[in-house]
Structure 1
Amino acid sequence: MTPRTVEQNDAIRKQRIAQIRNTAVEVYLEKGMQMEMGDIARKAGLGRGTVYHYYNNKLHLVEDLLLEAFEEAALVTAKTMQSSEPPLVRLEQYAALQLESWLRQPFGYILFKNWFHSEPIVVYYNDRLLADFHARLYKPVLEAVEEGIRLGQIAAMQPSTTVSVFFAALIGATGTYIGNKDSSSSTNRDEWIRDVTTVLFKGLQA
C-alpha cells in the first residue's frame, strides 16, 4: 500500500477534528459538562483512542469549542457594532447575524447562555475568557444601547437591563429552536431569524 502523503494526513486530521468537535457540540447539548469522551466517541462512530489522540480530556475539547465560538462572536460584534448605521439598526443587524451564527455553530449559543445565566463553564483560562467576553462581546452592545437611548431610538431605561433582556430573548429563542427537532432547514432558519428580530425590535423602539 502506498503511504499517505503529508497533505492526505493533514486532510484526515482536519476531518477527524471537525468530526469530534461537531459531535461534542451535539453531546454537550444533551448532557452538558456531564458528557464524557466515550460519549463523543460512540456518537461519532470513532474509537475512544482516536478521540484521545486529538484531545487529552473533555476540558481541552470544550476550551477549543469556546475559543472558536468566542472568535466568531467577536467578528459578528465588530462587523455590526463598528458600522456607521444608527444604533437600533446596528443592534438589529447584530441580532440577526448572531442568531445565524448560533444556529450554525451552537457552541456560540452555549457561550452566551453560560455567561448570562451566571453559570460559566469552568475551563483552565476561565478568568481571561470572562474578561474578554465583557470587553469584546458585552461592552460594544451596551454602548450601542446607551447611544440609542440618548438619541431617543430605544426606550429609556437602565441600559444594563435592556441588554440583559435583549440577550435573554436571543438565548431563549435559540434554545427553543435548537430543542425543536423539526426546525432544521435553512429556509425555516431564515424565516425564524426574521420573525425573532421583528418581534424583538418592535418592542425595543421608543
Structure 2
Amino acid sequence: MTPRTKEQNEAIRTRRIGQILRAAAETYVLKGINMEMRDIAAAADLGYGTVYHYYKNKYDLLSDLLNMALDEAEKMGLNYLSQGSSVKAYGIALLGRWRKDPSLFVLYKLACEHFRELPEPEAAVFRERFRQGVITPLAEALGTITKDPRSDESAFLIIAGLVGCAGLSVYRRSADMNEQEIAILLLGSF
C-alpha cells in the first residue's frame, strides 16, 4: 500500500472540515451555544477525536464557521446590492440560501443578537465585519431608495425580520419556506 500524497491528504482534510462545519451549523440550529463537540462529531458521523483534531473547542469551530459564512454573505451583498438588484431580490436570495445552508442562517441569527454568545473580543470583531460587509451595503441600497438617514437601523431591522421569518422553517427543518411571500410581506416596496 502506497502512502497518500500531499494532495490526497489535503482533499481528506478539506472534506472533513466541510463535514464538521455543516454538522456544526445544523447542530447550532438545534441546540444553540449549548452544542457540544460530541454532538457535532455525531452529526458529522466522525469520531470525537477527529473533530478535536481540527478544532480545539466549539468557539474555535464557530469562529471558522462564521468567517466562512461572512465571506459568502459579503459576496452575496456584492452580487445583489452593488449590481443594482432590488432589496426584495436580495431578501429572496438570502431566504433561499438560509434554507439550503444553515451556516449562513447561523451567521445572520447571531448577528441579530450582536454575537452575544461569543467571547467579547471576538464578538466585537464579528459585529464590525458584519456591519461593514452586510449592513452597510444594504443600508446604502436602502438609502438610495428611501433617503432615510437611519438606513443602517432600517437595514438591521430588515435582516432581523428575515431571520425571524426564516427561523420558522429552519428550526423545523422544513423545506416549505415561501421566500417570495416573506419578501413581499417584509420588503414589498423595496
Given the two structures, how large is their TM-score scaled by the length of structure 2? 0.87
| Amino acid in structure 2 at the alignment position of 1:143 | E
Contact 2:114 2:123 in 1 (8 A): no
* 1:113-128 map, 5 Å: 113-123=109-119, 125-128=122-125
Q: What CA distance in whole angstroms lies between the structure 2 residues aligned with 1:119 and 1:47?
A: 29
**SS of aligned partner of 2:56:** coil
Structure 2: gaps (5+ residues) = none
- Aligned residue pairs total 189
| Amino acid in structure 1 at the alignment position of 2:125 | R
| Amino acid in structure 1 at the alignment position of 2:186 | L
Which structure has the larger Rg over C-alpha atoms? 1
- 1:137 matched to 2:134? The reply is yes
Q: What CA distance in whole angstroms lies between the structure 2 residues aligned with 1:158 and 1:15?
A: 43
Structure 1: gaps (5+ residues) = 151-155
* 1:1-206 map, 5 Å: 1-83=1-83, 85=84, 89-123=85-119, 125-150=122-147, 159-160=151-152, 162-181=154-173, 183-184=174-175, 188=176, 192-202=178-188, 204=189
1:132-156, Cα deviation, whole Å (9 max, x unpaired): 1112211121122222113xxxxx7
Contact 2:37 2:48 in 1 (8 A): yes
Q: What CA distance in whole angstroms lies between the structure 2 residues aligned with 1:98 and 1:176?
A: 15
| Amino acid in structure 2 at the alignment position of 1:134 | R
The percentage of aligned residue pairs carrying the same residue is 32
1:20-59, Cα deviation, whole Å (9 max, x unpaired): 1111111111111111111212232221111111111111
**SS of aligned partner of 2:86:** helix
Q: What CA distance in whole angstroms lies between the structure 2 residues aligned with 1:16 and 1:145?
A: 40
Q: CA RMSD in A?
A: 2.3
Question: Which of the pair has the greater relative contact order for Cα pairs under 8 Å at 6+ separation?
Answer: 2
| Amino acid in structure 2 at the alignment position of 1:149 | T
| Amino acid in structure 1 at the alignment position of 2:13 | R
Q: What CA distance in whole angstroms lies between the structure 2 residues aligned with 1:134 and 1:112?
A: 11
